[in-house]
Structure 1
Amino acid sequence: MRIVHFGHSCVLLESEGARILIDPGTFSSGFEGERELDAVLVTHQHPDHADPDRLPALMKANPDARLILDQGTAEQTGLAAQIARPGDALEFGDLTVDVVGGEHAVIHPDVPTVDNLGFVVDKGAFYHPGDSFFVPQQRIDVLGLPTGAPWLKLSEAVDYLRAVAPRVAVPIHEAVLARPQMHYGMFAGLAPEGTEVRVLTQQEQSEL
């Protein structure tokens, strides 16, 4: 199986008989030109995993591809899709996908938790956990390892890597390390009443 990383959480998996794209989100680029896809899989509804602007065009350009979503993402996108749940077993050409997990990792107790699907491809040849720490029962050969997120710190990523213990770990979900705006937004939304979050422009003097 061959893997292409389009940045952040988006990866393309290719075998001799199938092409599967996972998590075409807002922080990823280059997936828009992919054609002859057999399936597009989305782990959960957050836009860095399912770009609401580019996903419809991607599906239109790949009319034979099956779109696999959780219920929440399907309701949000409004696209025709197959609803997947943990425990489902899917087939695309010569590739199998076991759906695992169920819940997004906790960002903050005040932020509602959404559904999250993990995808174990080809009996463990590759595992995409989405935004979760779910450890599948299958032995994992290659793990898409979440690297940076509002719900993740380095020690947790290391512990998760050790828990899954793959032969190869491929860092994914890294774009937020170069895009602090997601964290700024969380600070602003969760700050106590009366507290302003003000991002300073580097190398410019500010009156506070």
Structure 2
Amino acid sequence: MTATDTLMTKNGHELHIGFLGHGSLRFDCLGRTLYIDPVAMFADYTDAPKADLILVTHHHDDHCDPALIKQLLKPDGEVISTETVVGQLGYGTPMHNGEVRRIDDLLTIEAIPAYNTTAGRDCFHPHTGRDNGYLLTLDGVRIYVSGDSEPTPEMLALRDLDVVFLPVNQPYTMTVDQAVATVRALHPALFYPYHTGQTDFVTDLEQLADRLNGSGTEVRIRPMA
């Protein structure tokens, strides 16, 4: 059973967020279904709704599952991703760092650079423009899904965010200290730590939530190992 939260959009419609494990998310609003980084190893997609749009942050196999993408996509659905992923799939639309794309009246997407900033970690996610995070404006709700990234100038410059997803598994993404500082800088209404497992280092999510008490940001911990 997929864990799901329901939020209200700025226009009074229900927005359902599905937590599909690790870095995989689903957003349902006004009859439209959007996936970010769906991967079969983290959830059962047997009865999952078909996708109008799939966004992929980068090509690593815990984020990009070509067989599942093909299975989920509606005949008229679209894949938007990086040049690397589009090349790997053999179809889809590339979106580059800094690019903004208006899909329709419901959804606008901005590609935010995703990369490591700690010395010695750039072998995972280099600062070359290769990988994306995504800023969604979905029926007026601004949702930032960072992908695999540490705090970057481009990330920290974002403002007026309603919902933020930041990755907190080590050694590939953010430490608790980095995540706390980033949430305090971005000051979203709602923060979800995600991408929390798949390594031998266990992130203390309760400590993360405790350190953000009184910050003005609600922290919700969902099953995203």
* Residue 21 of structure 1: how far off its partner (Å): 0.5
Matching residue of 1:98? 109
Residues 50/109 of structure 1: CA separation in 2 closer, same or farther (3 Å cut): closer
Which has the higher mean CA deviation after the structures are superposed, 14-23 or 121-130? 121-130
Matching residue of 1:73? 85
Which has the higher mean CA deviation after the structures are superposed, 148-157 or 102-111? 102-111
Local SS of the residue matching 2:179: helix
* Residue 169 of structure 1: how far off its partner (Å): 0.6
Local SS of the residue matching 1:40: strand
Letter in 1 for 2:60: H
The runs of 5 or more residues in structure 2 that have no matched partner are 1-14, 202-225
Matching residue of 1:121? 136
Which has the higher mean CA deviation after the structures are superposed, 50-59 or 14-23? 50-59
Please tell me the root mean square deviation across aligned C-alpha atoms, in Å.
Answer: 2.5
Residues 109/118 of structure 1: CA separation in 2 closer, same or farther (3 Å cut): closer
Residues 46/110 of structure 1: CA separation in 2 closer, same or farther (3 Å cut): closer
- Per-residue CA deviation, residues 86-114 of structure 1 (Å, 9 max, x unaligned), is 33333445432332322422562455626
Matches within 5 A, 1:40-55: 40-55=54-69
Moved over 6 A (4+): none
Distance 2:46 2:76 in 1: 16
Q: Is the 8 A contact 1:20 1:39 kept in 2?
A: yes
* Structure with the bigger percentage of strand: 2
How high is the sequence identity, in percent, across the aligned residues? 24
* Residue 47 of structure 1: how far off its partner (Å): 1.1
Q: Is the 8 A contact 1:142 1:166 kept in 2?
A: yes
TM-score normalised per structure 2? 0.68
Matches within 5 A, 1:1-208: 1-25=15-39, 27-31=41-45, 33-59=47-73, 62-78=74-90, 80-106=91-117, 108-111=121-124, 113=126, 115-122=130-137, 124-132=141-149, 133=151, 134-151=155-172, 152-176=174-198, 179-180=199-200
Residues 116/33 of structure 1: CA separation in 2 closer, same or farther (3 Å cut): farther
Q: Is the 8 A contact 1:124 1:138 kept in 2?
A: no
Distance 2:195 2:88 in 1: 22
**Highest Rg: 1 or 2?**
1
Letter in 1 for 2:83: Q
TM-score normalised per structure 1? 0.73
Q: Is the 8 A contact 2:22 2:194 kept in 1?
A: yes
- Would you say how many aligned residue pairs link Structure 1 and Structure 2? 176
* Residue 51 of structure 1: how far off its partner (Å): 1.9
Distance 2:123 2:143 in 1: 33
